[in-house]
């Protein structure tokens, strides 16, 4: 899926640990065969080839992810939109990362194939259909979080109580760390990886981070991020450079973190405050000045803001 997954488990015996890693690996490969756009035989590749022609049957778990995508598109008024697939291609982020600025004509043609409302989900028939031809969905903003949730479920079922699963910055902290404390996740400085901006403490909770420093290209000194504003077809122009969102499950955290990039700090924080049991930190950069915006309040965060 174009990412690296790490699973850290605190367990009693090395025997039980080696058994679980095989199961984790198998589940990871299974999920890849559903959600990876890089595999021509995956379920998502088949949807992209066929759903523009006629309705395509989808698995229960694909329907679960597609439904969540629709829900986040509604909540974010379209800032989140999995139909950005064709845009990812013309901006040169997929299938290889070879960054390019498309012509206005190409952009206009491509925009005709984008729009989440044209993704028709039929929950009783269990099908998906694209009502505009040439559409393609891209679950890059959501599927990593879903994979983390599935791997954590597997660990729980196998009886593990303390673990951390990380898929490219989408993290779930199961139970407490081996020291019996909450897991501590540092939010790194978007322009200086040695520096930590703030520390998040989690127990049985997910955090997903999106940053413009993870996947971008530079053209004529302008930085183009891989998160596209579906309303303009261009990389988002909010001053957001990094977002971390915490939620009870990692798929929600993943989708919302990506959305904040497009929505910008003010609207983003407002939405995070509206959604129950979700918190976030949005980092903006304006004229070289880094600023942190929190959706929640605590003594520690206030001192962090004062430092800025």
- Pick 20 or 142: Cβ nearer ligand AMP: 142
Binding partner of residue 81 among Mg ion, ligand AMP, none, CB cut-off 5 to 8 Å per kind: ligand AMP
Count the neighbouring beta carbons within 10 Å of the beta carbon of residue 15: 9
Count the neighbouring beta carbons within 10 Å of the beta carbon of residue 199: 11
Binding partner of residue 230 among ligand AMP, Mg ion, none, CB cut-off 5 to 8 Å per kind: ligand AMP
> Which has the closest alpha carbon to 280: 217, 176, 205, 229?
205
Binding partner of residue 43 among Mg ion, ligand AMP, none, CB cut-off 5 to 8 Å per kind: none
The reply to whether 258 sits near Mg ion by the rule CB under 5 A is yes
The reply to whether 149 sits near Mg ion by the rule CB under 5 A is no
Q: Minimum CB separation from ligand AMP for residue 69, in Å?
A: 8
- Pick 88 or 163: Cβ nearer ligand AMP: 88
| Cα dihedral across residues 78, 242, 45, 171: positive or negative | negative
- Pick 20 or 139: Cβ nearer ligand AMP: 139
Q: Minimum CB separation from Mg ion for residue 210, in Å?
A: 5
Q: Minimum CB separation from ligand AMP for residue 123, in Å?
A: 21
Q: Minimum CB separation from Mg ion for residue 306, in Å?
A: 30
The reply to whether 43 sits near Mg ion by the rule CB under 5 A is no
Query: Scanning the structure block, which residue is given the tokens 């595999």?
Result: 39
Binding site for ligand AMP (CB under 6 A): 80-82, 84, 88, 93, 138, 140-141, 210, 226-228, 230, 254, 257-258, 262
Among 43, 149, 254, 279, binds Mg ion (CB under 5 A): 254
Task: Using CB positions, name the residue nearest to Mg ion.
Answer: 258
Q: Minimum CB separation from Mg ion for residue 255, in Å?
A: 6
- Pick 20 or 165: Cβ nearer ligand AMP: 165
Q: Minimum CB separation from Mg ion for residue 282, in Å?
A: 14
Q: Minimum CB separation from ligand AMP for residue 240, in Å?
A: 11
Residues 270 and 59: their CA atoms lie apart, in Å, by: 34
- Pick 9 or 139: Cβ nearer ligand AMP: 139
Q: Minimum CB separation from ligand AMP for residue 227, in Å?
A: 4
Task: Using CB positions, name the residue nearest to ligand AMP.
Answer: 140
- Pick 82 or 283: Cβ nearer ligand AMP: 82
Give backbone dihedrals phi and psi of 93, rounded to 5 degrees, phi first: -100, -15
| Token duo for residue 66 | 């597609």
Q: Could you say which residues in the range 108-147 bind Mg ion, by CB under 5 A?
A: 141
- Pick 62 or 84: Cβ nearer ligand AMP: 84
Which residues form the interface with Mg ion (CB under 5 A)?
Answer: 141, 254, 257-258
């Amino acid at each position: 899926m174009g990412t690296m997954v790490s699973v850290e488990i605190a367990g009693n015996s090395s025997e039980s640990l080696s058994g679980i890693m095989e199961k984790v690996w198998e589940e990871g490969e299974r999920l890849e065969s559903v959600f990876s756009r890089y595999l021509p035989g995956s379920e998502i590749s088949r949807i992209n080839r066929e759903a523009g022609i006629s309705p395509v049957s989808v698995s229960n778990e694909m329907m679960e992810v597609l439904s969540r995508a629709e829900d986040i598109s509604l909540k974010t008024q379209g800032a989140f939109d999995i139909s950005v697939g064709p845009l990812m291609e013309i901006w040169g982020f997929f299938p290889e990362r070879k960054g390019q600025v498309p012509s206005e004509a190409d952009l206009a043609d491509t925009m005709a194939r984008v729009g989440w409302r044209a993704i028709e989900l039929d929950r009783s028939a269990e099908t998906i259909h694209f009502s505009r031809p040439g559409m393609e969905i891209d679950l890059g903003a959501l599927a990593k979080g879903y994979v983390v949730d599935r791997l954590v479920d597997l660990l729980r079922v196998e009886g593990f109580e303390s673990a951390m699963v990380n898929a490219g910055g989408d993290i779930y902290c199961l139970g407490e760390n081996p020291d019996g404390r909450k897991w501590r996740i540092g939010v790194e400085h978007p322009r200086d990886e040695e520096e930590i901006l703030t520390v998040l403490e989690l127990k049985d909770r997910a955090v997903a981070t999106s940053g413009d420093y993870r996947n971008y290209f530079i053209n004529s000194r302008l930085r183009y991020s891989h998160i596209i504003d579906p309303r303009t077809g261009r990389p988002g122009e909010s001053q957001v450079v990094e977002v971390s969102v915490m939620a009870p499950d990692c798929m929600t955290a993943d989708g919302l973190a990506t959305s904040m990039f497009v929505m910008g700090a003010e609207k983003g924080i407002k939405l995070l405050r509206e959604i129950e049991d979700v918190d976030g930190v949005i980092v903006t950069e304006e004229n070289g000045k880094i600023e942190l915006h929190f959706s929640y309040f605590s003594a520690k965060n206030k001192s962090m803001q004062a430092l800025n």
